[in-house]
Amino acid sequence: MNGWTVTQTVFDSARQHHHETIFTIGNGYLATRGTFEEGHPQDRRTTFLHGVFDAAPFVVTELANAPDWLPLEIFFNGARFGMNQGTVREFERALDLQNGVLTRRVMWDSAQGERATIVFERFCSLAAPHLVCLRVSITPQHAADIKLRASINGIALSDGTQGEKLAHWEFLAQGLSRDAWGGEREGNVFLRTRTFHSQVELGAAMRVQTTRGKELTREFWDARNVPTLLLRVNAEAGETVVVEKYVAYFTSRDVEKTRVVDAALNQVNAVRDWDDALAENSAAWEKEWERTDVVIEGDDEAQLALRFNLFQMLIAAPRTDDRVNIGAKTLSGFGYRGHAFWDTEIFMLPLFIYTAPHIAKNLLNYRHRLLSGARAKAKANGYEGAQFPWESADTGEEVTPTWVPHYLDRSKLIRIWTGDIEIHISADIAYAAHQYWVASGDDAWFSEKGAELILDTAKFWAARAEWNETEQRYEYNDVIGPDEYHDHVNNNYYTNRLAQWNVQTALEVLAWLKQHAPHEAEQLLEQLDLSPARLAKWRDVVEKMYLPALPNGLLLQFQDFLERKEVDLASLEPRVISVQALLGIEGANETQLLKQPDVLMLMYLLQNEFSHEQVQLNYDFYTPRTDHTYGSSLGPAIQAIMACQVGKPDDAYEHFMRALRADLYDVRGNADDGIHAASAGGTWQAIVFGFGGLRVTRDGWTLEPRLPKHWKRLAFRFFYRGKPAVVDLDNENAKTQGT
Ligand code: BGC
């Protein structure tokens, strides 16, 4: 156990989709699922490039599965190597989280009795993000005539919502590259293709070379849309043959569309050799881990699983592009089609705000760029300001499907209401912009962009607020809060309070701007039409917002929540499915059972506002009502933080491990669809804000560590206002540096 390697030693076809998700590798520009180079029946071969969306039925738009760079077939004296052919004698797959290299070692016997050891290694270069590298080392036991087929497969299909296959790419051209004098430039192969609807052009280039062993022949096989190089190599008994394959991608999002192929060819030509490409990649990873790594001593499982979750965040994070976001399933699967949710702002962003502010800024800039989409959505609904879409892709329009096939019976459709009425996301985005500002002290960004996000969402909230004449209060009715077991509810506490926070903060931001950035203040006042009458209305909304609560301090999930049926969760055991799957959508709606604990979530976000007693009261009330095991994967990490706050680090540990294991153990049975990104981001928050007890305000930060008993050490780093801080804790002492 070195704390850095995720290993699989038994191959089981039945679990292949789960393992494909786990062994996803990437570099923030693209990611590729852990399918096998030679292919396997029913594999879900995907490479997703950030921002390359295309129209799709039901879901409006989805990430287009890009041409596949993995194909590498191997034939031994005519027998094709495959995990489902011949006999797999030994198998091991290992993902090295330290540098993102995925290795598979197989000892294999063909049906004819040929034995060979084959080692595949691959990585998506973090140093040169357009480049992906693959190498195979083949050692046959007896002298063998080995043939290899290396391709780029342009017939990349996506899995549709009903299991159908969708094509997104229109073939444009392919061939062997020629140099300026008409000769072949090292015989590299290219493919040019384009998405049907969004018209993104993509150029891919492939360079293949035999670096050990004797290459006898090489042929270009001009199969349409699958340009292929056929190699014949001869290996003596026990001799190792090494073949390397380098592929590069460029799209018209990166360069002029006439240059996509050239740029890709240049990239593969620029590779000196494997060791060099790997060394550059490893050096880039070292820098990432310097900022991001968390050390847990005394708990090997937690250590490795946490690094795995952080790795998933790091391979999904856009480092140079602020036109993209991170989808709820990162770039690792077809789930949610690459769409971004509040998962980014509330669950993933804190990790980046505190460890990689440049990435946080990219993600927030994405929202700022797409304000026009949010304004259009508000307008279409009859409101002013910016109403962000529940699901967002490349244009900022709402891309939540309104109908999807029923999860139990695909011949039926279910109406999805979240795009219409799960409105809290606008406040979540405003909250995140503010949090970035507080932690980074980036006043320039805030005056230029962050303030506008907060002001324009406030404008929406003030317009959306409904005045209840009888009760003399503002309300938000017919909404879905974060807890999606209850839809069409009135006055969800989380939504109302965060909307109120949004408007109140907007007023404070305006005052700050007037003082510190008067020019921007004036511009925004005019551009957003923030007249005195409008601001007076904002103050009224803040003052008279209805926040449903009992006199004893219990915050109500939503108005009338207590009228729902009380159900003892234990009475539903044993179960391996969610409360909603068990009781049905309507059935769950009628109970007090929660998919995720809204109220506790709110208490976490606005943690400086609640007394310890009030947190305890609400914790005790909502914890037994929450479907921790099979409800939302977003819940456990936050529940862990709240358990720490009420002084229960051992309960916290249980929730934390549930979050950590979400994908590694496929806790909810849907890891096939991709990584649970919010859960992964949440695990970092559980470490830092839960066990570490970090609290940050504009005046500084404090720690109140509460480690699980068996942890010997917890160490992490973060940036506060540009300054690095190192936290090193054990169960007795907290040591910090860099304050
Ligand atoms: C959760 C949402 C989440 C979405 C995407 C849903 O199941 O309830 O809170 O935003 O998944 O992860």
pLDDT of residue 169: 97
Q: How confident is the model at residue 589 (pLDDT cuts 50, 70, 90)?
A: very high
Instruction: Name the residue of 341, 390, 670 to mutate for ligand 1: max ligand atoms within 8 A of Cβ.
Output: 341
Other CB atoms within 10 A of residue 179 CB: 9
pLDDT of residue 425: 98
Q: Out of 484, 508, 586, 732, which one is annotated catalytic?
A: 484
The residue contributing the CA closest to ligand 1 atom 1 is: 632
| Distance (Å) from CA 233 to ligand 1 centroid | 50
Q: Percentage of the chain with pLDDT > 90?
A: 93
Q: How confident is the model at residue 698 (pLDDT cuts 50, 70, 90)?
A: confident
Fold entry, domain 341-548: Glycosyltransferase (1.50.10)
> Which residue type does 295 have?
V
The closest of 625, 453, 471 to 554, measured between CA atoms, is 625
Closest ligand 1 atom number to CA of residue 328: 12
pLDDT of residue 7: 98
The residue contributing the CA closest to ligand 1 atom 7 is: 632
CATH superfamily, domain at 698-739: Maltose phosphorylase, domain 3 (2.60.420.10)
Across-strand partners of 173? 192
**Phi, psi (deg, nearest 5) at residue 575:** -150, 155
The alpha carbons of the chain give a radius of gyration, in whole angstroms, of 27
3-state secondary structure of 243: strand
Is there an atom of ligand 1 within 6 Å of 484 CB?
Answer: yes
Is there an atom of ligand 1 within 6 Å of 327 CB?
Answer: no
pLDDT per residue as tens digits for the range 224-256: 999 999 999 999 999 999 999 999 999 999 999
- The Cα–Cα gap between 316 and 310 comes to 10
pTM of the model: 0.97
> Is the pLDDT score of 703 beyond 80?
yes
Q: How far apart are the first and last CA of the chain?
A: 33
49: Cβ contacts below 8 Å, ≥ 6 apart: 29, 30, 63, 66, 202, 249, 251, 331
> Is the pLDDT score of 737 beyond 80?
no
Is there an atom of ligand 1 within 6 Å of 254 CB?
Answer: no
> Is the pLDDT score of 43 beyond 70?
yes
Is there an atom of ligand 1 within 6 Å of 482 CB?
Answer: yes
Question: 711 near 694, Cβ under 8 Å?
Answer: no
The residue contributing the CA closest to ligand 1 atom 12 is: 328
pLDDT of residue 2: 82
Across-strand partners of 61? 55
pLDDT of residue 528: 98
pLDDT of residue 187: 82
pLDDT of residue 735: 60
pLDDT per residue as tens digits for the range 17-26: 999 999 999 9
Average pLDDT, the chain: 96
Mean pLDDT of 679-706: 96
- The Cα–Cα gap between 382 and 330 comes to 33
Other CB atoms within 10 A of residue 332 CB: 30
pLDDT of residue 182: 52
Longest dimension (CA), the chain: 90
pLDDT of residue 16: 97
The closest of 316, 299, 311 to 363, measured between CA atoms, is 316
Tokens describing residue 196: 């049907």
Degrees to nearest 5, angle at CA 242 with 239 and 244: 175
CATH superfamily, domain at 5-167+208-248+271-289: Glycoside hydrolase, family 65, N-terminal domain (2.70.98.40)
pLDDT per residue as tens digits for the range 281-337: 999 999 999 999 999 999 999 999 999 999 999 999 999 999 999 999 999 999 999
Tokens describing residue 622: 């909502």
> Is the pLDDT score of 364 beyond 80?
yes
> Is the pLDDT score of 183 beyond 70?
no
**Phi, psi (deg, nearest 5) at residue 332:** -105, 0
Q: How far is CA 259 from CA 128, 191, 206, 251, 294, in A?
A: 18, 12, 16, 9, 41
Domain map (residue ranges) of the chain = 5-167+208-248+271-289, 341-548, 561-691, 698-739
Closest ligand 1 atom number to CA of residue 484: 8
pLDDT of residue 736: 61
Would residue 484 show up in a list of annotated catalytic residues for this protein? yes
Is there an atom of ligand 1 within 6 Å of 634 CB?
Answer: yes
Q: How confident is the model at residue 181 (pLDDT cuts 50, 70, 90)?
A: low
For 115, the enclosing helix (H) or strand (E) is strand 115-124
Is there an atom of ligand 1 within 6 Å of 341 CB?
Answer: yes
pLDDT per residue as tens digits for the range 107-144: 999 999 999 999 999 999 999 999 999 999 999 999 99
Query: For residue 582, is it left (φ>0), alpha (ψ between -120 and 50) or beta?
Result: alpha
Degrees to nearest 5, angle at CA 21 with 19 and 23: 70
Is there an atom of ligand 1 within 6 Å of 545 CB?
Answer: no
Top pLDDT among 731 and 616 is at 616
- State the DSSP string of 281-344: HHHHHHHHHHHH--EEES-HHHHHHHHHHHHHHHHH--SS-SS----TTTTSSSGGGG-B-HII
> Is the pLDDT score of 617 beyond 70?
yes
pLDDT of residue 407: 73
Q: How confident is the model at residue 411 (pLDDT cuts 50, 70, 90)?
A: confident
Helical axes 300-316 vs 274-292, angle rounded to 10°: 110
